[in-house]
Amino acid sequence: MNDMSQDGYVTEDGRQIGGVMMEMKNITLKFGGVVAIEDISFDIREGEIRAIIGPNGAGKSSMLNVISGFYHPQEGEVWFHGTERPAMKPYEVARQGVARTFQNIALFEGMTVLDNVMTGRLTHMKSGLLSQAIWWGKALQEEVKNREVVEKVIDFLEIQSIRKTPVGRLPYGLKKRVELARALAAEPKLLLLDEPMAGMNVEEKEDMSRFILDVNDEFGTTIALIEHDMGVVMDLSDRVVVMDYGKKIGDGTPDEVRNNQDVIDAYLGVAH
Amino acid sequence: MLFRTAGQFKTSYLKDQTLFPVRQDAILLGIILAFAWVIFPLTASEFTFQTLLIPVLVYSLAALGLNILTGYAGQLSLGTGAFMGVGAYACYKMITIFPEMNLLVAVLMSGLFSAFIGVLFGLPSLRIKGFYLAIATLAAQFFLVWLFEKWAWLYNYNASGAIQVPHVEMLGTPVAGPQAASMTQYYFVLVVVTLMTILAINLTRGTQGRIWKATRDMDIAAELIGINLLKSKLTAFAVSSYIVGVSGALFVFLWRGAAEPNLFDIPISFRILFIAIIGGLGSIMGNYMGAILIVALPVVLKTLPETFGIPISSATVEHLNVMVVGALIVFFLIIEPHGLARLWTLIREKFIIWPFPH
Ligand SMILES: Nc1ncnc2c1ncn2[C@@H]1O[C@H](COP(=O)(O)OP(=O)(O)OP(=O)(O)O)[C@@H](O)[C@H]1O
Ligand SMILES: [Mg+2]
One-letter-per-residue 3-state SS of chain B: CCCCCCCCCCCCHHHHCCCCCCHHHHHHHHHHHHHHHHHHHHHCCHHHHHHHHHHHHHHHHHHHHHHHHHHHCCCCCCCHHHHHHHHHHHHHHHHHHCCCCCHHHHHHHHHHHHHHHHHHHHHHHHCCCHHHHHHHHHHHHHHHHHHHHHCHHHHCCCCCCCEECCCEEECCEEEECCCCCHHHHHHHHHHHHHHHHHHHHHHHHCHHHHHHHHHHHCHHHHHHCCCCHHHHHHHHHHHHHHHHHHHHHHHHHHHHCEECHHHHCHHHHHHHHHHHHHHCCCCCHHHHHHHHHHHHHHHHHHHHHHHCCCCCCHHHHHHHHHHHHHHHHHHHHHCCCCHHHHHHHHHHHHHHHCCCCC
Q: Is the residue at B16 inside a domain?
A: no
Rounded mean pLDDT, A153-164:
91
Please report the domains of chain A, with CATH numbers, ordered by start residue.
Answer: 1-97+189-272 (3.40.50.300), 109-187 (no CATH)
Instruction: Locate the chain B residue with the closest alpha carbon to A110.
Output: B217
| B319 domain-assigned | no
pLDDT score of B2: 46
In the prediction, which pLDDT does A6 show?
62
Respond yes or no on whether the N-terminal peptide bond of residue B261 is cis (omega within 30° of 0): no
Banded pLDDT at A1 (limits 50, 70, 90): very low
Q: From the list A108, A127, A135, which residue is nearest B218 (CB)?
A: A108
Taking only the tens place, the pLDDT of each residue in B246-272 is: 999 999 999 998 899 999 999 999 999
pLDDT of residue B56: 96
Residue B264 belongs to some domain of the structure: yes
Q: Closest ligand to A245 CA? A: 1
pLDDT tens track for A133-144: 888 888 888 888
Establish if B251 belongs to a structural domain: yes
The answer to whether position B297 is within a domain reads no
**Which CATH number is B175's domain given?**
1.10.3470
B333 belongs to a structural domain: no
Number of domains in chain B: 1
**Chain B residues inside the 8 Å CB shell of A127:** 207
Candidate of A27, A30, A31, A228 to mutate for ligand 1, largest count of ligand atoms within 8 Å of Cβ: A31
Asked if residue A227 has its Cβ within 6 Å of ligand 1, the reply is no
Domain that holds residue B281: 45-288
Structural domain includes residue B247: yes
Residues in chain B, pLDDT under 70: 1-22, 353-358
pTM of the model: 0.89
Residue B123 in any domain: the answer is yes
* B342 touches A at CB < 8 Å: no
B-chain residues near A143 (CB < 8 A): 13-14, 17, 206-207
Asked if B226 lies within 8 A of A123 by C-beta distance, the reply is yes
ipTM: 0.87
Query: What distance in Å separates residue A14's CA from the closest CA in chain B?
Result: 33
